Amino acid sequence: MAGYRIEVRGTVQGVGFRPWVCRLARRMGVVGRVQNDPRGVSIEAFASTAVLGRFIDELRTDPLPTARIAELREAPIPDEDLDAFVIESSEASGRKALSIPPDLATCEDCTKELLDERDRRFEYPFTNCTACGPRFTIATGIPYDRAATTMSEFVMCEACRAEFDDVENRRFHAQPNACPECGPSLRLDRLDGHAATASNVLAHAAELLSRGKVVAVKGLGGFHLACDATDGAAVRRLRERKHRDEKPFAVMVQSLAEAGALAEISSEEGALLSAAERPVVLLRRRQDARLAVEVSPDTSLLGLFLPYTPLHHLLLAAARRPLVMTSANVSDEPICFENDEARRRLEGIADAILLHDRKIAMRCDDSVSRVIAGVPTIMRRSRGFVPRPIYLSRPVARPVLACGAHLNNTFCIAMEDTAYFGPHIGDLETVAALDFFEEAIERMQTILSVRPEVVAHDLHPGYPSTRYAQTRTELSVVGVQHHHAHVVSLMAEHGICDQVLGVAYDGTGFGEDGTSWGGDFLLCTAERYERVGTFRPIRLAGGNLAMREVWRIGYALLHDAYDGAPPRNATALLDGVPSSSLLLVKQMIEREINAPRARGVGRYFDGFGALALGRARSTHEGQVAIAWDQVANTSVVDAYPYEIDRRTTPWEVDLRPAVRAAVEDLAASAPPGDVSARFHNALIAATSELLDLLWAERGNLPVALTGGVFQNERLAAGIENVIRNKNEVLRHGAVPPGDGGIALGQALIADAVMRDKG
């Protein structure tokens, strides 16, 4: 007999991994034990050397499909006299473990049962097993077992109990296990004053959808608003009722094949769509897609996702059409998740509401992913991912809570060698969003059983997340520069602690000097950074107003490029802006009244986009920037001129020559697509030239591309193509490049600051 201790790291908790190991061991005649530990699963196995070798091979080469093994390490241990293989409860290990896994999409086995007339769960919308179903969103406490979930009010029937207790069964210890006998049930309420039919609720919902009605649907982490995505009038109505401007809606389709009829899908994108996390995936819409233009009026990107609950599968099958499925909320408020709350808040928005009696304990919005220049990149990390840990290559000394930034807020808790992002909170613009933020922090602290000792926040004094951190006076409070945090988030994702050259491009972020940064080159580690490059600032006349009235930025570019006297043909590009408004903005810039300087590369996109597309306004953050990216003519390879000013500290990219060249192009009636391409090419060239200069001066450091602007595929791919032969290039994958990913970097920087203090 020989003995081995095998440590498995990765996504191995809450996916049925322990029972699977147990079955495998018993089949092979291996004795020992398996249990969860804080970092994954550990196995102690005893058998003959030959059998053990095969057992480990099997674990390595043919793992459970729902598990994702990041690392498997084995070491010999002394033989023990055992006669069986057992699953040991997590508590027995005596160490605290995060036992709550993320929610997972309905697995293949469960989907089959759902459609099998002979199965006792035929068409049962709450079917699940150890490999799938709700988890994080139903957990009310720890450890993760049925008593500490919202399923505790349902008592398992005999048949369900037998499955739950049988280690050979797919539902062994599946905490939300249920069936039509004993589990939750579905119901449809009309909110439009009509009576709902009691029988065949799904057929009724499908019928309403086919008549252009808006139906709210209770999902895993909250309610969606659904309507027929092929019906323009229905989609318009939904937009009006939800007060949603032109931001695209996500669309749920029944199958990968159906997704392929609406959008172009690469194999990587197909894998993302089908992954157990089931994010919304941003894809290129097909010209001939049978879909209302109102779904995404302003962009050729289309967000699609596949059903992830049995209820979705059944609803899509009954409706037989793609459905808009957008978070049920008004404007920027958090997603609705309680039945009474939903009925109250959705009155006047939804015509009916499809709901059930399994409570949602924790709100969790859909996640969003996109393949950016070949790399699957998460843009919003929430349902399906939270609370899965991110492993740190250097443990934090004390538990840290990092509060994130302002837009697309998420927070992060780091403890020992793991970091946990909370769910997507959204923009911290409303009282409801702030309440959600605080409540979610409390809950994450509870389920991680951790009390942070350090709290990190953005340097911006006006952010509600900053003010929240400053109320936690019982903790050590550390302010962290926004772009430093962006770079360190990316370093952490790649397990890098040594110095890198960070390129942080975004819309805005508070700088150490009190001005807005966002086009910054930082030589940095978690401990410190040096700002070695930036962009020439733009005056934002009217401050935040300029973000919506992007013509103000366009004008500021002209004013700067022509030394305060742009020619008539240049200002004519701002067609539709009254000359009195132009004059006012000119005066604000010249007298420096409410015209703060901003260096965000995102603002250059706004400004150039406004001039070349004749777009005076942006209805939501990034709208003009995204449109500007998509019009670019790929066959245009030349670039606008620019300068790099090395007399300043930090060095400065000056795009005034590019502005003048673009004005000449537009005066000569060049298509906006050509102007866009030359603008992108100029940014790519300027970035790589500045990197060359910095490498020569500071040594050959790896480059970290981060910030919301790197959601722009043309720019990310363009820069990577130019520099990848010269040096290592880091890009985001598992942590969002935008402000949704910033909290991780904040946590690690705060930890480093506290270490420095001793």
In the complex, minimum distance from the CB of residue 217 to Zn ion, in angstroms, rounded to a whole number = 20
For residue 30, give the 3-state DSSP assignment: coil
Taking CB under 5 A as the rule, which mask of x and - marks residues 140-169 in contact with Zn ion?
Answer: -----------------x--x---------
In the complex, minimum distance from the CB of residue 181 to Zn ion, in angstroms, rounded to a whole number = 4
**Which of 121/363 has CB closer to Zn ion?**
121
Which residue bears the tokens 């790519």? 684
Task: Give dist(CA 321, CA 212) in Å, integer.
Answer: 12
Task: Give dist(CA 645, CA 626) in Å, integer.
Answer: 28
Any residues with CB less than 8 A from the CB of 94 and at least 6 apart, and which? none
Residue 181, binding choice from Zn ion, Fe ion, none, Cβ under 5 to 8 Å by partner class: Zn ion
Neighbours of 444 (CB within 10 A): 22
C-alpha separations of 576 from 396, 572, 581, 617, 726 in Å: 55, 9, 10, 11, 46
Closest by alpha carbon to 230, among 252, 257, 215, 245? 252
Residue 110, binding choice from Fe ion, Zn ion, none, Cβ under 5 to 8 Å by partner class: Zn ion
**Which of 162/431 has CB closer to Zn ion?**
162
Letter string b/e over residues 381-418, b meaning 16 or more CB atoms within 10 A of that residue's CB? bbbbbbbbbbbbeeebebbbbbbbbbbbbbbbbbbeeb
Residue 132, binding choice from Fe ion, Zn ion, none, Cβ under 5 to 8 Å by partner class: Zn ion
Q: Which residues pair with 418 in a beta bridge?
A: 391, 415
Contact region with Zn ion (CB under 5 A), list: 127-135, 217-225, 360-368, 617-625: 127-135
**Which of 506/629 has CB closer to Fe ion?**
506
In the complex, minimum distance from the CB of residue 306 to Zn ion, in angstroms, rounded to a whole number = 15
**Which of 132/496 has CB closer to Zn ion?**
132
**Which of 365/739 has CB closer to Fe ion?**
739
Residue whose Cβ sits closest to Fe ion:
506
Any residues with CB less than 8 A from the CB of 437 and at least 6 apart, and which? 409, 411, 425, 428, 464, 465, 468
In the complex, minimum distance from the CB of residue 364 to Zn ion, in angstroms, rounded to a whole number = 19
Among 86, 182, 196, 497, binds Zn ion (CB under 5 A): 182
Which residue bears the tokens 């991680």? 448
**86 interacts with Zn ion by CB under 5 A:** no
Among 739, 747, 753, 754, binds Fe ion (CB under 5 A): 739
Check: CB of residue 164 under 8 Å from CB of residue 170: no
Task: Give dist(CA 614, CA 605) in Å, integer.
Answer: 13
**103 interacts with Fe ion by CB under 5 A:** no
Residue 107, binding choice from Fe ion, Zn ion, none, Cβ under 5 to 8 Å by partner class: Zn ion
Contact region with Fe ion (CB under 5 A), list: 12-20, 73-81, 225-233, 499-507: 499-507
C-alpha separations of 353 from 35, 224, 305 in Å: 42, 10, 21
Helix (H) or strand (E) holding 431: helix 431-447
Hey, what are 451's tokens? 């009390």
Any residues with CB less than 8 A from the CB of 758 and at least 6 apart, and which? none
**110 interacts with Zn ion by CB under 5 A:** yes
Q: Phi and psi for 580 in degrees, rounded to 5?
A: -65, -40
**Which of 169/581 has CB closer to Zn ion?**
169
Q: Phi and psi for 34 in degrees, rounded to 5?
A: -135, 140
Task: Give dist(CA 343, CA 359) in Å, integer.
Answer: 14
In the complex, minimum distance from the CB of residue 506 to Fe ion, in angstroms, rounded to a whole number = 4
Check: CB of residue 599 under 8 Å from CB of residue 538: yes
**Which of 185/470 has CB closer to Zn ion?**
185
**Which of 155/233 has CB closer to Zn ion?**
155
In the complex, minimum distance from the CB of residue 739 to Fe ion, in angstroms, rounded to a whole number = 4
Residue 216, binding choice from Zn ion, Fe ion, none, Cβ under 5 to 8 Å by partner class: none
**Which of 213/482 has CB closer to Fe ion?**
482
In the complex, minimum distance from the CB of residue 185 to Zn ion, in angstroms, rounded to a whole number = 12
Residue 739, binding choice from Fe ion, Zn ion, none, Cβ under 5 to 8 Å by partner class: Fe ion
**506 interacts with Fe ion by CB under 5 A:** yes
608 burial (CB, 10 Å; 0-12 / 13-18 / 19+) is buried
**Which of 273/749 has CB closer to Fe ion?**
749
Contact region with Fe ion (CB under 5 A), list: 99-107, 441-449, 506-514, 642-650: 506-514
- Three-state SS string over 115-149 comes to CCCCCCCCCCCCCCECCEECCHHHECCCCCCHHHE
Check: CB of residue 411 under 8 Å from CB of residue 739: no
**458 interacts with Fe ion by CB under 5 A:** no
Any residues with CB less than 8 A from the CB of 280 and at least 6 apart, and which? 250, 303, 304, 305, 366, 367, 368, 369
Residue 625, binding choice from Zn ion, Fe ion, none, Cβ under 5 to 8 Å by partner class: none
Hey, what are 156's tokens? 């398992």
Helix (H) or strand (E) holding 608: helix 601-613
In the complex, minimum distance from the CB of residue 110 to Zn ion, in angstroms, rounded to a whole number = 3
Residue 654, binding choice from Fe ion, Zn ion, none, Cβ under 5 to 8 Å by partner class: none
Task: Give dist(CA 257, CA 325) in Å, integer.
Answer: 19
Contact region with Fe ion (CB under 5 A), list: 2-10, 329-337, 502-510, 683-691: 502-510
**520 interacts with Fe ion by CB under 5 A:** no
**64 interacts with Zn ion by CB under 5 A:** no
Contact region with Zn ion (CB under 5 A), list: 171-179, 326-334, 526-534, 616-624: 171-179
**269 interacts with Fe ion by CB under 5 A:** no
Q: Helices 464-471 and 431-447: crossing angle, nearest 10°? A: 50
**181 interacts with Zn ion by CB under 5 A:** yes
**Which of 108/268 has CB closer to Zn ion?**
108
In the complex, minimum distance from the CB of residue 744 to Fe ion, in angstroms, rounded to a whole number = 13
**Which of 607/736 has CB closer to Fe ion?**
736
**621 interacts with Fe ion by CB under 5 A:** no
DSSP symbol at 86: E
In the complex, minimum distance from the CB of residue 509 to Fe ion, in angstroms, rounded to a whole number = 5
Among 31, 47, 151, 179, binds Zn ion (CB under 5 A): 179
**174 interacts with Zn ion by CB under 5 A:** no
The DSSP string of 356-369 is ESSPPSS--PPPEE
Hey, what are 87's tokens? 């699953």
Contact region with Zn ion (CB under 5 A), list: 19-27, 102-110, 138-146, 255-263: 102-110
Among 25, 43, 72, 129, binds Zn ion (CB under 5 A): 129
Residue 387: cis peptide before it, omega within 30 degrees of 0: yes
In the complex, minimum distance from the CB of residue 503 to Fe ion, in angstroms, rounded to a whole number = 13
In the complex, minimum distance from the CB of residue 133 to Zn ion, in angstroms, rounded to a whole number = 6
In the complex, minimum distance from the CB of residue 407 to Fe ion, in angstroms, rounded to a whole number = 8
**Which of 123/739 has CB closer to Fe ion?**
739
**107 interacts with Zn ion by CB under 5 A:** yes
Residue 506, binding choice from Fe ion, Zn ion, none, Cβ under 5 to 8 Å by partner class: Fe ion
Contact region with Zn ion (CB under 5 A), list: 61-69, 173-181, 500-508, 623-631: 173-181
Number of residues that bind Zn ion (CB under 5 A): 10
Among 30, 43, 132, 413, binds Zn ion (CB under 5 A): 132
Applying CB under 5 A, which residues contact Fe ion? Answer: 506, 509, 739
Applying CB under 5 A, which residues contact Zn ion? Answer: 107, 110, 129, 131-132, 157, 160, 179, 181-182
